[in-house]
Amino acid sequence: MKNINIKELARELHLSVSSVSKALHDSYEISEKTKKRVQKIAAKLNYVPNPYASSLRGRKSKNIAVVIPEVADSFFSLAINGIESVAKEKGYHVLICLTHEKFENERDILKEFQGGRVDGVLMSVSGETSQSGHVRDLISGGIPLIFFDRVCEEVDTAKITTDDFESGYKATEHLIEQGCKKMAFLNISKSLSISNKRLEGYFKALADNKLKADKKKIILCGNNAKQNYALIKNLLQQKDRPDGVVSSVEKLTTPLYKACVALKLKIPGDVKIVCFSNLETASILNPSLTTITQPAFEMGKTAATLLFKALSKTGFNLKNESVVIPSALVVRSSTT
């Protein structure tokens, strides 16, 4: 099954290269009879056009990029599914680029895109990202970029987010309703908009319920699993131990539960827990986990749909197209 190119195909058909190309693109300039003949032989000889030649000439790649911190995370893998479902329908390919939460990686990836590798970008910024020059450079170079979930506030483009402030509020309020007085908040970034908004929601819920915030109960975790575990364990060993924990990210669920087990703290008896999480296993954890569940698939789908709108309509202004899709508080046994 050798690979054939359009020139060889044309020779086989006793046609010019241009006619073959036009026939394969169903051009009106080619007779129906010839089209049929071309399609038949092309299929028979297993002709597959070289995408790089097409991209080069057409100045578009039929690729979009998804730039995310991690793929081993329920939210992102579900979002990818949402994005892919749209891309497939449009005949586009999805290039998944991982930053591993490093700003440097993110910058390098976007920089590469300036060469034209992709026609558009969907991105959730890394935990380290606090500037946005790299994003603006890309956009001003003519490549549309849409944020989903983790955004750069200051970049003027469409942002598909969920109601982080409200969710942080709801999660905290729920703990308060369940009798908690001293709640901790697990964070992963000082700069991330979602972190800050969730934290603001947490503070607001405290204030609205006349509870004092305690700096020592705001824990900044990172990318090192061991360190995170130690930080959480430390938190739970404070003499003024928290009676409730809001985890603002999924990946802290396991260390949090493990720390409780290690310290023989009962959930929800000693500590009540609510996590921002899309884990399918939330309902079968020990105990089942109360979550803020984000509309991951839908956010991906919405972001992708918008991006394709921007790609098809020249002059489409992404600046006024932000969407907020609400998350849901799913109450389970870790808080009741």
User: Rounded distance, CA 20 to CA 26, Å?
Assistant: 10
Binding site for a second copy (CB under 8 A): 1-3, 46, 48-53, 55-56, 61, 71-74, 77-78, 80-81, 84, 93-98, 111-112, 114-117, 136-138, 140-142, 253-254, 257-258, 261, 279-281, 283-288
Record the tokens describing residue 296, joined without a space.
């991951």
The reply on whether position 315 binds DNA by CB under 7 A is no
Question: Pattern 107-146, binding to DNA, x per CB under 7 A?
Answer: --------x-------------------------------
SS3 state at 244: strand
Is the separation of the CB atoms in 56 and 37 below 8 Å? no
The reply on whether position 54 binds DNA by CB under 7 A is yes
Nearest to 108 by CA among 142, 157, 52, 65: 65
Judged by CB under 7 A, the stretch of 1-9, 261-269, 273-281, 284-292 that binds DNA is 1-9
| Strand residue runs (E) in 12-99 | 63-68, 93-98
CA 196 vs CA 124, 186, 220: distances in Å: 15, 11, 12
Judged by CB under 7 A, the stretch of 4-12, 71-79, 213-221, 300-308 that binds DNA is 4-12
Find the shortest distance in angstroms from Cβ 294 to DNA.
39
User: Which partner, DNA, a second copy, none, binds residue 192 by CB below 5 to 8 Å per kind?
Assistant: none
With 0-12 / 13-18 / 19 or more C-beta atoms within 10 angstroms meaning exposed / middle / buried, residue 216 is: exposed
Find the shortest distance in angstroms from Cβ 100 to a second copy.
9
Sign of CA dihedral 98, 277, 215, 165: positive
Looking at beta carbons only, is 10 or 205 nearer to a second copy? 10
User: Rounded distance, CA 132 to CA 113, Å?
Assistant: 15
First to last CA, the chain: 63
The reply on whether position 17 binds DNA by CB under 7 A is yes
Judged by CB under 7 A, the stretch of 28-36, 103-111, 220-228, 266-274 that binds DNA is 28-36
User: Which partner, a second copy, DNA, none, binds residue 261 by CB below 5 to 8 Å per kind?
Assistant: a second copy
Nearest to 77 by CA among 246, 290, 297, 289: 297
User: Which partner, DNA, a second copy, none, binds residue 24 by CB below 5 to 8 Å per kind?
Assistant: DNA
User: Rounded distance, CA 286 to CA 283, Å?
Assistant: 9
Judged by CB under 7 A, the stretch of 20-28, 64-72, 77-85, 276-284 that binds DNA is 20-28
User: Which partner, a second copy, DNA, none, binds residue 81 by CB below 5 to 8 Å per kind?
Assistant: a second copy
